[in-house]
Amino acid sequence: MLLLRCPLLLLLLPLSSRPQKLPTRDEELFQMQIRDKAFFHDSSVIPDGAEISSYLFRDTPKRYFFVVEEDNTPLAVTVTPCDAPLEWKLSVQELPEEASGDGSGEPEPLEQQKQQITNEEGTELFSYKGNDVEYFVSSSSPSGLYQLDLLSTEKDTHFKVYATTTPESDQPYPELPYDPRIDVTSLGRTTVTLAWKPSPTASLLKQPIQYCIVINKEHNFKSLCAVEAKLSSDDAFMMAPKPGLDFSPFDFAHFGFPPDNNSGKERGFLKSSSKFGRQTSSKPRVDLHKVCIGNKNIFTVSDLKPDTQYYFDMFAVNTNTNMSTAYIGTFARTKEEAKQKTVELKDGKVTDVFIKRKGAKFLRFAPVSSHQKVTFSLHSCLDAVQIQVRRDGKLLLSQNVEGVRQFQLRGKAKAKYLIRLKGSKKGASVLKILATSRPNKQSFPSLPEDTRIKAFDKLRTCSSVTVAWLGTQERNKFCIYKREVDDNYNEEQKKREQNQCLGPDTRKKSEKVLCKYFHSQNIQKAVTTETIRGLQPGKSYLLDVYVIGHGGHSVKYQSKLVKTRKFC
């Protein structure tokens, strides 16, 4: 195959009246040219042994040429459609061996030469219409000028072409195993485990192969090029110049076509920068994911949605050539989410709820009698949780709750309320909830906005510490507890013990300091102080304050770490 631009080829043909054999492939020149692939971007000549990427405007045919110099030459041509079906045809015509018929030896005008060669249809060797990666392979091809004609009738699109006269030695595409299917070996609600047989290119030929998995909800893909087209901007071709204009290699680098100078790396798509005056409106494709996993042949896809159908495709990529081959894709539906049991809430009774990490629980409240208002009281013991309340299907409330919160909603005769509680992403959630249609039924004590305990450093002695905390206008019982801890006790350990739902009944009697009632009608003066005595010099203590409501339920303030003076 000859590495020449077509105009140059046409100029060379009539220079001699004697039969002329075209030169064989200059390997040094070939290697230099395929390293500078911009040489082919603007050309209608297909290089021997290198994949090219190009474009097609809708209903605008494109023609490529290459020369086979000798008869009985092996030939392989591969065309890869990316994001639209293609119609393509490969044909061959004989090369003219003599110059102009008048025998003058004067070269014919360029246009006459062009018509002499390219206006002939030639002999059709192969044609195809569709979006599959399709091949023409011949172990013995005649010499001649080969033409590859391509057309896209659906939309503007791009594609890849690879042609070689040494298919046996090149082998740029990874070979598929005898069974190229992807097996689903395990199926869960949010996970799917896939396994496949390794490519012989890796296991036998020891070439560097990595596997790339593509996951989406729409359909299987037939090429990695099609995946990249889907991942790129929908409007990439809006930036392309109109047919007939000259293209420079610079243009190709900035209107959505894949860069070709990253051999051995994962191929991607360039996005134009604003400084070039062209921009694509890139739309995130949250339903299409590609991940390359090295040379493993088993992989678990996680974080999927339950009861959802997914399509899985696997591509073997030769990291030396950056060319890929598709396995036979598969699909699978994840298992259904386990049906949630709905917990019935009783009017005025506190219910304990445990929720797994990222999990959810459903509760139902159906007041027996007609009611004007419904009150939901929620006590989140650890991290914040989300509460949603629907009345007869209509969303009334959706909020995140931390600590103790109370929500009062307008009632409706014979209404039923569905409560959805969603846990934290950090870990499991523990909470208490109370629903009631009776006014003034309050089981949880009211809390101030600030539930910290303040220690006064200047009042600290070798045997005592003085602390203060805020109260409310409601008269409540407060109990304070102390516990000696090691000097290396830190905030992380304290955080693990911050379950606000654990009451004084879980503490040792020896840790109790005192209990007292306290409130103030003036919220600005609702502050109380207490001095804790009988402590050891230079020791660290963890202090806890519990507020206990009329219904007996308690809420713990934020723990406070204090230390007595070592020398007094």
Tell me the CA distances in angstroms from 279 to 189, 233, 242, 273, 282, one per residue in order: 40, 10, 17, 6, 9
Coil, helix or strand at residue 58? coil
Lowest mean pLDDT among 89-103, 248-262, 431-445, 518-532: 248-262
What pLDDT does residue 356 have? 87
Distance CA 213, CA 329 (A): 10
Coil, helix or strand at residue 525? helix
What pLDDT does residue 388 have? 93
Alpha-carbon torsion 547, 549, 552, 554, what sign? negative
Coil, helix or strand at residue 400? strand
> Would you say residue 216 has pLDDT above 80?
yes
Nearest to 95 by CA among 126, 63, 70: 70
What pLDDT does residue 492 have? 67
What pLDDT does residue 537 have? 94
In DSSP terms, which residues pair with 479 in a beta bridge?
515, 546
Q: What is the mean pLDDT of residues 310-324?
A: 92
Cβ neighbours, 10 Å, residue 146? 24
Q: Do 173-234+286-338 and 453-563 have matching folds?
A: yes
What pLDDT does residue 261 have? 41
Tell me the CA distances in angstroms from 242 to 256, 526, 530, one per residue in order: 15, 76, 82
Distance CA 178, CA 328 (A): 12
Distance CA 260, CA 246 (A): 20
Tell me the CA distances in angstroms from 560 to 57, 132, 451, one per residue in order: 71, 68, 11
Q: What is the mean pLDDT of residues 233-246?
A: 41
Distance CA 4, CA 64 (A): 12
> Would you say residue 105 has pLDDT above 60?
no
Q: At residue 454, what is the residue type?
A: K
- pLDDT tens column, 463-514: 999 999 999 888 889 999 999 998 887 766 666 667 778 888 889 999 999 9
Evaluate whether 195 touches 185 at the Cβ level (below 8 Å). Answer: yes
What contacts 417, CB < 8 A, 6 or more positions away? 364, 365, 366, 374, 389, 390, 391, 435
What pLDDT does residue 525 have? 86
Residue with tokens 């797994």: 356
**How many CA atoms does the CB half-sphere of 385 hold within 13 Å?**
31
What contacts 101, CB < 8 A, 6 or more positions away? none
- % of the chain exceeding 70 in pLDDT: 76
Evaluate whether 531 touches 466 at the Cβ level (below 8 Å). Answer: yes
DSSP state of 284: -
> Would you say residue 22 has pLDDT above 50?
no
Q: What is the mean pLDDT of the chain?
A: 78
Evaluate whether 155 touches 100 at the Cβ level (below 8 Å). Answer: no
Both structure tokens of 216 = 């989406």
At the top level of CATH, which class does the domain 453-563 belong to? mainly beta
- pLDDT tens column, 191-205: 999 999 999 988 777
> Would you say residue 273 has pLDDT above 50?
no
Both structure tokens of 329 = 């894709």
> Would you say residue 210 has pLDDT above 50?
yes
Residue with tokens 């909603």: 409
What pLDDT does residue 122 have? 78
What pLDDT does residue 166 have? 87
> Would you say residue 134 has pLDDT above 50?
yes
Q: Cα angle at 545 between 542 and 546, to 5 degrees? A: 135
What is the pLDDT confidence band of residue 249, given thresholds at 50, 70 and 90? very low
At the top level of CATH, which class does the domain 173-234+286-338 belong to? mainly beta
What pLDDT does residue 358 have? 83
The CATH architecture annotation of domain 50-94+122-170 reads: Sandwich (2.60)
> Would you say residue 34 has pLDDT above 80?
no
Q: What is the mean pLDDT of residues 207-227?
A: 91
Cβ neighbours, 10 Å, residue 143? 17
- pLDDT tens column, 182-192: 999 999 999 99
- pLDDT tens column, 403-430: 888 888 888 888 899 999 998 888 888 8
At the top level of CATH, which class does the domain 343-436 belong to? mainly beta
Nearest to 557 by CA among 517, 513, 505, 498: 498
Q: What is the mean pLDDT of residues 394-402?
A: 90
Distance CA 474, CA 135 (A): 83
Nearest to 356 by CA among 431, 428, 433, 432: 428
What is the pLDDT confidence band of residue 554, given thresholds at 50, 70 and 90? confident
What pLDDT does residue 100 have? 39
What is the pLDDT confidence band of residue 117, given thresholds at 50, 70 and 90? low
> Would you say residue 3 has pLDDT above 70?
no
> Would you say residue 11 has pLDDT above 60?
no
Nearest to 321 by CA among 134, 50, 20, 22: 50
What contacts 144, CB < 8 A, 6 or more positions away? 67, 68, 92, 93, 94, 95, 122
Four-point Cα dihedral 101, 105, 109, 110, nearest 10: 100
Tell me the CA distances in angstroms from 412 to 80, 171, 393, 408, 464, one per residue in order: 64, 75, 13, 13, 56
* Kind and range of the H or E run holding 128: strand 123-130
Domain boundaries, the chain: 50-94+122-170, 173-234+286-338, 343-436, 453-563
What pLDDT does residue 192 have? 94
